[in-house]
Chains A and B, each alone.
Chain A
Amino acid sequence: MQWSWEFTYEIMPRMLWATLNTLMAAGIGYAIAVVLGLVLALAQRTPYRGLTLVVREVVEFIRSTPLVLQIFFVYYVGPQYGLNLSPWVAGMIAIGLHYASYLSEVYRGGIESVAKGQWEACTALNMTPMKTYFRVIIPQALPPSVAGMGNYLVGIVKDTPMLSVIGVAELMHAANAIGGQNYRYLEPYTIVGVVFLMISLPSAGLIRAFEAWVRRKLGMR
């Protein structure tokens, strides 16, 4: 089997469009995860012991079961009860929820790294819990969380191929379709690999630079 550059050029526009879909899927999924992850993290810090235990177990459940199975679950269980979700909506819910559980752990670590004196100072200044979190704690919890958040951003990009199983038209889906139509799998699958390498190779350096920038902006270190 020979690598065909002609075929590569022919399928390139379609692959690049699909790459945009991949980035969009990762972006939307990540946006859901960033917000929902914070909710899951804060829900474990309320005075209600029962709530903490339930949320903790839910997070553990989502973290330790396969994402691809969760994608199937969300996509197929809706119609059973009369709720039809499009592949995009089901996929975004599944991947967003999965990464929310990861990010909640990152936030938890970040929040726990804030010095105890900061909490005491907030109490002494008679700040409301809302103000304590959003003005004092979370801004300081952010820099130690940036590295973890960045790693999971790269992780979510690399997990989007799983969305192809329910027909989300991202990169892997395009590669499968092209491979099936032309009986040539070498070029499409290799291009997918190269695209992911091009996204993930520079990411480690970018994350470190961004972390330094956040610290500078917040006047830490």
Chain B
Amino acid sequence: MSYPEFLAEYGGRYIDGALITAAQFILAAALAIVMALIMGLLKLSSNPIAKGVAVVYIEFFRGTSLLVQLFWLFYVLPLFGLTFDKFTTGFVAVGLNLGAYGAELVRGAIQSVPKGQWEASYALSMSPAAQMRRIILPQAFVAMLPPWGNLIIELLKGTALVALIAVSDLMFEARQINGSTYLSAQAFGTALIIYYIFARFLITPFMRWLERVMARRLGRG
């Protein structure tokens, strides 16, 4: 079977898989961003309990592997009566894992905002919430965008693991097609290329665009 014939035969399944991967990616990214923001802020809190929660979350999810967490959520939680479908389990595991890495980026970026900005907003008698929302977070956001670009690519790669709990994503389809055709180079190679297109020609340009837009809105572009 030539490669064009292979694509004509199985292209539709790759598209189905790619759509599931895209859905997993978007949901996991949304969860990771929310968790990163909450836990990053909690880690900076002066309340020892809030700080403790953030430290445990970050160390736990960064210290054990994503695959272990995924299998733990999928095989162990049902034993305690908590059952989620595999699609939900997939993006929740990926989102929680990458959220822990993101929380450290959030913390670092907030701490990198110059001290004068805190003092000036305090002198203008802004409430702590307004100070965070209007002065600190926008500047921290611009500072952490470049490392988030890398993290988001890691997140895309992480979604490939959900195939191992039988979510029918791109990687899952590639394995199925490999199993029925034995055309391994085509089956896995096509999936690799689609992941690469996602990362290099969709996500990376989007992050670069976001960096430019945000820098301009802060008047630094």
A-side residues, CB < 8 A to B, are: 1, 60-61, 63-70, 72-73, 76-77, 79-81, 158-159, 161-162, 164-165, 172, 175-176, 179, 185-186, 189-190, 192-193, 196-197, 200-201
Q: B65, B67, B75, B184: which contacts A80 (Cβ < 8 A)? A: B184
Asked if B72 and A190 make an inter-chain contact with CB atoms under 8 angstroms apart, the answer reads yes
- Bound-state CA distance A1–B83 (Å) is 14
| Interface secondary structure of B, over-half rule | helix
Q: Note all chain B residues with C-beta closer than 8 A to A185.
A: 71, 75-76, 79
A149 to chain B, nearest CB (A): 17
Q: Which of these, B65, B80, B171, contacts A69 with CB under 8 Å?
A: B171
Additional A-B contacts beyond A72-B175, A80-B185 (6; CB < 8 A): A64-B199, A80-B184, A81-B185, A186-B79, A197-B63, A201-B59
Q: What are 14 contact pairs spanning A and B, CB under 8 A?
A: A64-B156, A64-B199, A64-B204, A66-B158, A66-B160, A69-B160, A69-B191, A76-B188, A77-B189, A158-B64, A189-B75, A189-B76, A193-B72, A196-B68
List, in ascending order, chain B residues with CB within 8 A of A76's CB. Answer: 178, 184, 187-188
Q: Contact residue range for chain B?
A: 35 or more
Which of B80, B156, B195 is A1 in contact with, Cβ under 8 Å?
A: B80
Report yes or no: B184 in contact with A73, Cβ–Cβ below 8 A.
Answer: yes
Any A CB within 8 A of the CB of B157: yes
CB-CB nearest in chain B for A186: B76
B141-173, CB < 8 A from A: 153, 156-161, 163-164, 171
> Distance (Å) between the CB of B157 and the closest chain A CB?
4
Q: Shortest distance in angstroms between B177's beta carbon and chain A's nearest beta carbon?
A: 11
CB neighbours (8 Å) of B159 from chain A are 66
Interface residues of chain B, those whose CB is within 8 Å of chain A, are 59-60, 62-69, 71-72, 75-76, 79-80, 153, 156-161, 163-164, 171, 174-175, 178, 182-185, 187-189, 191-192, 195-196, 199-200, 204
A-B contact count (CB 8 A): 114
B-chain residues with CB within 8 Å of residue A179 when the two chains form the complex: 75
- Nearest 8 pairs between A and B by C-beta? A66-B160, A64-B199, A76-B184, A1-B79, A185-B75, A73-B188, A200-B63, A66-B157
Nearest CB on B from A32, distance (A): 20
Give complex CA distance A186, B82 in Å: 14
Q: Which of A64, A73, A192 has the most CB of B within 10 A?
A: A64
Query: What residues of A have a CB within 8 angstroms of the CB of B64 in the complex?
Result: 158, 192-193, 196-197, 200
Q: Let me know if B196 and A65 touch, CB within 8 A.
A: yes
Q: Are A201 and B63 in contact (CB under 8 A)?
A: yes
Given A68-B160, A161-B68, A192-B68, A73 and B79 contact (CB-CB distance below 8 Å) = no
Q: Inside 8 A of A164's CB, which chain B residues have their CB?
A: 67
Q: Which residue of A1, A65, A158, A197 is within 8 Å of B60 (Cβ)? A: A197
A77 to B191, CA, bound (A): 14
| Least Cβ–Cβ distance between A220 and chain B, in angstroms | 25
Inter-chain CA distance A159–B196, complex, in Å, is 20
Contact among B59, B63, B67, B195 with A172 in the assembled complex (CB-CB below 8 Å): B67
User: A154 to chain B: closest CB distance in Å?
Assistant: 9
User: Which residue on A lies nearest to B175, using beta carbons?
Assistant: A72
Residues of A within 8 A of B80 (CB): 1
Question: Least Cβ distance of A18 to chain B in Å?
Answer: 13
- In the assembled complex, the Cα of A67 lies from the Cα of B158 at a distance in Å of 9
Separation in Å of the B198 CB from the closest CB of chain A?
8
Residues of A within 8 A of B72 (CB): 189-190, 193
Which B-chain residue is minimally distant from A76 (CB atoms)? B184
Chain B residues with Cβ below 8 Å from A73 are 184-185, 188-189, 192
Residues of B within 8 A of A189 (CB): 68, 71-72, 75-76
The one of A1, A70, A161, A175 in contact with B192, judged by C-beta atoms closer than 8 angstroms, is A70
In contact, A72 and B188 (Cβ under 8 angstroms)? yes
* Closest Cβ neighbor of B199 among chain A residues: A64
Query: Which of A70, A77, A172, A186 is the one whose CB lies under 8 Å from B68?
Result: A172
Q: Bound complex: CA of A189 vs CA of B158, how far in Å?
A: 19
> Which B residue sits closest to A203, measured CB to CB?
B63
